[in-house]
């Protein structure tokens, strides 16, 4: 499917209107796959369903323009960032409704290996993870970028390496380093 999406993206960039129509269901299916993969890491009673996440991501990605992505990997990198924002926004809105304006603590059931539990026994939540990634981005933007693609977009090291233009070996090292950095940051409860 990757060559087909990449070819359609190229045709869209060249102005082929029929390519957009062909691309839409493929993009929707790709977003749905990413959303299902991502939401599997959330708690079971999470109120945002994959279809809702896909629809919101699709709208945010394509609301004002035709896609301008080089290939499927670049699309997935962009979709990773959009899905992260949607999930964080959802957590904030839900927390505001439940607690009169306070942020909600959403426990992560994660295969990401950042930290399922802090040293004090409390669970890591999406908002803390988001803050930790923002802190990482201030210090090491490239590491935050690869973590975002890996965690929120479900991208492999190979796909991420293609997007960022570094070797797979370097990206694998960056992901390991970033996970360790985030684990320490989250364990220290210093995510502001």
Mean pLDDT for 37-52 is 69
pLDDT at residue 2 is higher than 70 = no
Compute, in degrees rounded to 10, the torsion defined by CA atoms 141, 132, 138, 79: 40
Residue range of the domain that includes 91: 2-187
Does 183 fall in a domain?
Answer: yes
Per-residue pLDDT at 68: 72
Which of helix, strand or coil describes residue 42? strand
Structure tokens at 133: 């990634």
Would residue 192 count as lying in a domain?
no
pTM: 0.66
Tell me whether residue 141 is in a domain: yes
Domains held by the chain: number? 1
Question: Strand, helix or coil at 67?
Answer: coil
- Under a CB-based contact definition with an 8 Å cutoff, are residues 33 and 54 in contact? no
**Does 98 reside within a domain?**
yes
- Percent pLDDT > 70 in the chain is 74
Can you give the pLDDT at residue 146?
A: 95
Q: For residue 192, what pLDDT is reported?
A: 52
List b or e across 134-169, with b for residues whose CB sees 16 or more CB atoms inside 10 angstroms.
Answer: ebbeeebeebbbbbbbbbbbbbbbebbbbbbebeee
Is the model's pLDDT at 76 over the cut of 60? Answer: yes
Q: What pLDDT was estimated at residue 33?
A: 81
Maximum C-alpha span of the chain: 56
Task: Kindly state the tokens that stand for 187.
Answer: 């364990």
Instruction: Identify the pLDDT of residue 113.
Output: 43
Residues 6 or more apart whose Cβ sits within 8 Å of residue 164:
142, 145, 146, 171
Residue 111 is predicted with a pLDDT of 41
């Amino acid at each position: 499917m990757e060559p087909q999406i990449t070819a359609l993206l190229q045709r869209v960039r060249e102005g082929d209107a029929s390519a957009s129509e062909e691309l839409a269901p493929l993009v929707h299916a790709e977003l749905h796959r990413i959303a299902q993969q991502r939401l599997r890491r959330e708690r079971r009673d999470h109120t945002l369903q994959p279809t809702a996440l896909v629809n919101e991501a699709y709208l945010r990605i394509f609301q004002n323009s035709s896609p301008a992505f080089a290939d499927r990997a670049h699309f997935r990198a962009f979709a990773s960032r959009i899905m992260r924002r949607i999930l964080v926004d959802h957590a904030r809105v839900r927390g505001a409704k439940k607690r009169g304006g306070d942020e909600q603590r959403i426990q992560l059931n994660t295969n990401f290996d950042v930290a399922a539990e802090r040293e004090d026994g409390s669970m890591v939540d999406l908002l803390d993870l988001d803050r930790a990634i923002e802190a990482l981005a201030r210090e090491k933007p490239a590491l935050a970028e690869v973590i975002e693609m890996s965690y929120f977009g479900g991208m492999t090291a190979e796909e991420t390496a293609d997007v960022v233009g570094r070797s797979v070996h370097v990206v694998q090292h960056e992901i390991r380093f970033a996970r360790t950095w985030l684990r320490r940051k989250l364990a220290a409860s210093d995510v502001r």
